[in-house]
Structure 1
């Protein structure tokens, strides 16, 4: 009897495998062994299973259909948990922000409000708009921060040179970007409509310069902003690599052109996660300002003050879909997002900041974001 049972135990799995083979199916293949580069990217104290984390980060670099990942820095509990670069890039390579710069500009505005130099809910201090009868006088700093000024700013155009961003950055607006952006008429009542716009952020940058200096001299404006950002933000955060660009009028191109290493982008993300504090505990901007930055706009649940939020889309929805992944991470997650796949993803509940920099097309970004979500998912919410 014992021999018959043994034969059955041996024969049963063989029969199952034969049946599977007859159906044209194969047992699932084991994942390929991780290479040295993948394993070396993860620290010994990463706060997540090393092999799983190494594999998820490796896929950001090697999986087809995601575009080109050039840099990944993952912070967990305030420490580097993983760091990896593609060929030709390293920890000293400055990477362009594109629209990630917008969030830095919002912090700049928050500092000036805290200093008493600007007011959030009064008419924006743009002399051109304060002329009698000009409906743009109703636009506030809050409207600008939440991308609901109502100004005729079209971020994407068809053809591309019809876009307000392209015209401002490279064509008729390039020498005095803020003036070109402020001259545009209203297309909606201030506060009524969300319209993402790099022009709007340049207006905010110009307002910041005017709050710091009364001079119209380009060098004076550039110096005022640069010194302020260095002393109040970049130096306390040890973001030594940060280089910001200015137009010919001395206005910070605060919507798109800042350059820093992946590590320094991670430092800024951690500053946001820590409610505006530096690593040594100094409160660089009031914590209530960081809270306001990640509060949903009344016209776009996925947007705060120049910052993208992991909140479900509101009733208005979005013609471009959701920029993040609300079904896969806490609603408190927020992100700096830049053109062609630049991300600083910050999840306070999971105590992580993930920087992914590279080049992904609009069709590649959704799949790439899901891979990034796989990395973040390895850290439980607390």
Structure 2
């Protein structure tokens, strides 16, 4: 039925146009929005309110974008647009899903800069240290680049496996949930370490466990949780004034570094701004510039993936494009999560854009492209 409607639309449009010409009338333009309707955009916006609203509104109003619950735009460190869907506001905490991976990559950076972890040393996972275990060759860099070679299946469709056979579901919700890192670390190799890219939430759980065991030798879940929470708060959340952000932990006291942080849109924006400023905030350098540069450098097996963060570069043939490499600088990078959670940062445009909501992963294209259109309104600055 939709196809028949499409055939008639041009005819109707032409008839309206001809009638307008004959009568001397023009087709009415869309009504202008009131000042109140545009109040979510700051008077300090360098882009005219009506123009910026025209790019933002489809994220909330166009069914092809599904459900946007929050959209925040920061330019030069100031919030210039902040809009929420019905039932949500600035105090709402939204689940991160896989945006958490970029937080985990940042936390690893603190321990590397402290000299407690080494990027190209074998990853300190006790289960891999037995003589002859090939997993003992997996390095921290390979884990951060999603190139460990471990047999991790992220989604049910991969390899013909059902939803409940996929490692992410089993680890988070089924037989692996009590000790998620233990489940992830027990998997065998399916490729040589460093040989292939395979995006994996289980890999990020291994990194979360490495962080925890670097901080404490205790196996007591409560001790693990408390010490890791203190580290996260002291090194990241408090310096960035992210007081509304909470990390979730499993029953073994390991934070869910691949999938579950609860935070407000404003706090997510603060994290994006922190990385835009190369690990600095208010003049204080908390994370070495070299580590942020590592995070934003393409891995060997996927140009669009760095050190636990996505990059605005074209991916190899056969892999879904994740950002908008044809509509923005290559220097754009992003923390991305399930159902369209996004923290997108453009250093050259001095922009951080946060989008939170619920868009199924197989129809993310229109929404992601629209974020690109919002960002394209802003010029590249020196």
Same fold, judged at TM 0.5 (above): yes
Query: Is residue 34–residue 55 contact of structure 1 (8 Å, CA) maintained in 2?
Result: no
Partner of 1:317: 317
* 1:221 maps onto 2:224 in alignment: yes
Deviation of 1:186 (Å): 0.2
Deviation of 1:64 (Å): 2.3
Deviation of 1:281 (Å): 1.4
Partner of 1:154: 153
Alpha-carbon separation, structure 2, partners of 1:363 and 1:210:
37
**Residues 239 and 18 from structure 1, CA distance in 2 versus in 1: closer, same or farther, beyond 3 angstroms?**
closer
SS at match of 1:176: helix
Deviation of 1:27 (Å): 6.7
Partner of 1:4: none
Alpha-carbon separation, structure 1, partners of 2:372 and 2:248:
31
Partner of 2:173: 170
Deviation of 1:43 (Å): 0.2
Alpha-carbon separation, structure 2, partners of 1:49 and 1:23:
31
- Which whole-Å deviations, capped at 9, do the CAs of 1:223-260 have from their partners, x for residues lacking one? 11110110111011110000110000000110001000
Partner of 2:193: 190
Partner of 2:5: none
Alpha-carbon separation, structure 1, partners of 2:19 and 2:274:
58
Partner of 2:243: 240
Alpha-carbon separation, structure 1, partners of 2:70 and 2:18:
42
Partner of 1:74: 73
Taking the TM superposition and a 5 Å limit, the aligned residue runs for 1:286-325 are: 286-313=288-315, 316-319=316-319, 321-325=320-324
Cα RMSD (Å) of the superposition?
2.0
Query: Is residue 75–residue 352 contact of structure 2 (8 Å, CA) maintained in 1?
Result: yes
Deviation of 1:55 (Å): 2.0
Partner of 1:180: 183
Picking from 281, 284, 287, the partner of 2:286 is 284
Task: State the structure with more CA Rg.
Answer: 1
SS at match of 2:72: strand
**Residues 84 and 37 from structure 1, CA distance in 2 versus in 1: closer, same or farther, beyond 3 angstroms?**
farther
Partner of 1:380: 379
Structure 1 gap segments, 5+ residues each: 1-16
Alpha-carbon separation, structure 1, partners of 2:154 and 2:109:
24
Deviation of 1:140 (Å): 0.3
Tell me the TM-score normalised to structure 2 length.
0.91
Tell me the TM-score normalised to structure 1 length.
0.91
Partner of 2:328: 329
Deviation of 1:168 (Å): 0.5
Taking the TM superposition and a 5 Å limit, the aligned residue runs for 1:67-146 are: 67-146=66-145
Structure 2 gap segments, 5+ residues each: 1-13
Alpha-carbon separation, structure 1, partners of 2:217 and 2:27:
69
Query: Is residue 60–residue 69 contact of structure 1 (8 Å, CA) maintained in 2?
Result: yes
SS at match of 1:168: helix
**Residues 257 and 23 from structure 1, CA distance in 2 versus in 1: closer, same or farther, beyond 3 angstroms?**
same
Partner of 2:215: 212
Deviation of 1:362 (Å): 2.7
Query: Is residue 244–residue 252 contact of structure 1 (8 Å, CA) maintained in 2?
Result: yes
Deviation of 1:290 (Å): 0.5
Decide which moves more: 49-58 or 345-354.
Answer: 49-58
Alpha-carbon separation, structure 2, partners of 1:77 and 1:372:
18
Query: Is residue 265–residue 354 contact of structure 2 (8 Å, CA) maintained in 1?
Result: yes
